[in-house]
Amino acid sequence: MIHIGIIGAGRIGKVHLRSITYHVKNAFVKAVADPFMNEETENFIRGMGVEKIYGDYRELLADPDIDAVLVCSSTDTHAAISIEAIRAGKHVFCEKPVDHALDRIQAVADALADHPGCKFQVGFNRRFDHNFAAVRKAYDQGKIGEAHILKITSRDPEPPNPAYIKVSGGMFLDMTIHDFDMACFLTGSDVEEVYVQSAVLVDPAIGEQGDVDTAIITLKMTNGALAVIDNSRRAVYGYDQRAELFGSKGMAATANDTFSTVVVSNGEGVIREKPLYFFLERYMESFAEEMRQFVDACENGTEVPVGIHAGMQAVKIGLAAGKSVEEHRPVKISEMETNG
């Protein structure tokens, strides 16, 4: 039985608390730490049977009964808290991105090198989505042969508040970072080079923040495959999350999930439902599955499914994407090393 502490009781912290309580065997949440706890949140946490609520995460880390912590605090604190937790002898599940700065991610990697027994997992939950996992499985089973072309469609139903963009690091680091990780996951490869063609077509306020809201991103993978991601901050029909992996022996493609399969035929046409609205609807089950695998790694010493290398890669690609926009040219990931 793994005793878990959650640091950060915001939206994603609550999602994990609920998942572990209801859907993960051999684990329970013993404590939650958050400096900004309100009554509603506290009631929710208590209702899940959590024993301890702390204001300061250091108190949580000091509890010798806690085996593993989930770092669900704001992005700028992920790396520092992760390092403290590693040093405190805890296994760590860190929300994505680990950090916006490569040197701080490297510091986490260094801490892990000093604590070889520590299980460290990054929160790229989409790897555990039933659809994307099925594409990877088809690939692993040889149904696609060698990977030639990967296509990822990733469009949000509505743009974030422009004010959020400053904090988030921009579209490539807050939104596309999942797609970068998915490109690595689905092709079983790292990225060698990135080129971005982007635009501000959804909301001029986003452009005023120095960011883009629409992009086509081409990746050259180290295994020779080509990949393309298309992003938009607003698809009026809802959250559009698809992938298609094409290779020498075939293609595996996914469609969007819907609430039901119902199709209405009438004088207007033959009408299916819109995709599930956003990530909490579409990816809820994947949050449980990533927890199950993290708990399994902690309990049975198996390898974590998404380690620090993946966490580093995705941020490097995101930074290279930004550089590609600035300099309007293809950028090699190896150019990012010097930033690190």
Which 29-68 residues touch its own copies, going by CB under 8 A? none
Q: Are 110 and 83 in contact (CB under 8 A)?
A: no
Alpha-carbon distances, residue 317 vs 196, 216, 221, 326, 335 (angstroms) = 11, 14, 11, 14, 10
Which C-beta is closer to its own copies: that of 42 or that of 244?
244
Q: Is the dihedral of CA 82, 83, 88, 93 positive or negative?
A: positive
Would you count residue 249 as binding its own copies (CB under 8 A)? yes
Which C-beta is closer to its own copies: that of 69 or that of 219?
219
Residues 71-90 that bind its own copies (CB under 8 A): none
Distance CA 33, CA 234 (A): 34
* Binder of its own copies out of 161, 261, 300, 338 (CB under 8 A): 261
Helix crossing, 130-140 with 176-187: angle to 10°? 30
Q: What share of the chain is helix, strand, coil (3-state, %, to 5)?
A: 45, 25, 35
Distance CA 132, CA 110 (A): 31
Would you count residue 151 as binding its own copies (CB under 8 A)? yes
Nearest distance, CB of residue 167 and its own copies, angstroms = 25
* Binder of its own copies out of 256, 286, 293, 313 (CB under 8 A): 256
Cα torsion through 222, 224, 225, 229, rounded to 10: 50
Stretch touching its own copies by CB under 8 A, among 30-38, 81-89, 302-310, 324-332: 324-332
Residues 102-141 that bind its own copies (CB under 8 A): 130-131, 133-135, 138
Nearest distance, CB of residue 289 and its own copies, angstroms = 13
* Binder of its own copies out of 80, 101, 149, 284 (CB under 8 A): 149
Would you count residue 1 as binding its own copies (CB under 8 A)? no
Binding mask 166-185 for its own copies (x = CB under 8 A): --------------------
